[in-house]
């Protein structure tokens, strides 16, 4: 049995066509049922539906053999303990700093609200900027509006969320896409099955 960890939402939706090309169709729809383990059209493949930030943990501990997670989540988790053989080029977006549209560029020590504490720390350190990082779990856009932070570090896709909150993107930290990650022991123990799946994904991606 191969277990693949996927998060609900955009990554799940964009993963479905890749899985379909590999002959894997989930039997239930996670939007309509509350099952956390989804059986598929293939007896030897099941999906576990978990929070995006938990995907690296499930794969690291071997609770899932494979997982699909954004590069942002993998970097924040510290993904040395996983193989990351494929960039799936899905759920693409940008990790950026953003600030109030009227805010001048800050000099000296700044306060940054984000859920990406590690990434933000190393980004500002690399620029020689002293930053106090405030960890939030959501609604980062609110922080500059209520004086909690000078700026935020968050994912930006269309930019509509920032705009709706009078913020603007400032600096690009990195481009983000979702990656396939593999448990190191599973890569050895289930090599044939995983290699076959990787090659099917690669073929589908090459056609795009
Ligand atoms: P947008 O308004 O299109 O710029 O989207 C920004 C909002 O969607 C922010 O709350 C982001 O955290 C979230 N977001 C955008 N792209 C992604 C992605 N690829 N994965 C997860 N969240 C995303």
Domains delineated in the chain: 2-91+177-207 (3.40.190.10), 93-175 (3.40.190.10)
pLDDT of residue 107: 84
Q: Are 183 and 82 in contact (CB under 8 A)?
A: yes
**Global pTM value:** 0.96
Q: Give the ligand 1 atom nearest the CA of 161.
A: 2
pLDDT digits (tens, 9 = 90+) for 54-85: 999 999 999 999 999 999 999 999 978 999 99
pLDDT digits (tens, 9 = 90+) for 34-60: 999 999 999 999 999 999 999 999 999
| Count of C-beta atoms within a 10 Å radius of residue 11 | 20
pLDDT of residue 106: 83
pLDDT digits (tens, 9 = 90+) for 128-183: 999 999 999 999 999 999 999 999 999 999 999 999 999 999 999 999 999 999 99
Q: Give the ligand 1 atom nearest the CA of 91.
A: 19
d(C-alpha 23, C-alpha 44), whole Å: 11
Identify the residue whose tokens are 């609110």. Answer: 142
pLDDT of residue 105: 87
What's the CA-to-centroid distance between 112 and ligand 1, angstroms? 18
């Amino acid at each position: 049995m191969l277990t693949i960890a996927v998060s609900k939402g955009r990554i799940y939706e964009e993963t479905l066509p890749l899985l379909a090309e590999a002959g894997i169709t989930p039997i239930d729809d996670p939007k309509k049922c509350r099952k956390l383990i989804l059986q598929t059209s293939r007896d030897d493949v099941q999906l576990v539906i978990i929070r995006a930030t938990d995907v690296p943990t499930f794969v690291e501990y071997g609770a899932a053999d494979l997982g699909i997670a954004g590069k942002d989540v993998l970097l924040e988790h510290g993904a040395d303990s996983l193989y990351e053989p494929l960039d799936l080029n899905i759920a693409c977006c940008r990790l950026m700093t953003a600030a109030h549209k009227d805010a001048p560029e800050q000099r000296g020590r700044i306060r940054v609200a984000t859920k990406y504490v590690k990434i933000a720390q190393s980004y500002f350190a690399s620029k020689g900027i002293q930053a106090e990082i405030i960890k939030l779990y959501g609604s980062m856009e609110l922080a500059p509006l209520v004086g909690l932070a000078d700026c935020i570090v968050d994912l930006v896709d269309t930019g509509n969320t920032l705009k709706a909150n009078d913020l603007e993107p400032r600096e690009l930290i990195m481009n983000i896409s979702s990656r396939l990650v593999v448990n190191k022991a599973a890569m050895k123990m289930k090599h044939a099955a995983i290699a076959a799946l990787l090659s099917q994904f690669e073929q589908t991606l090459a056609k795009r």
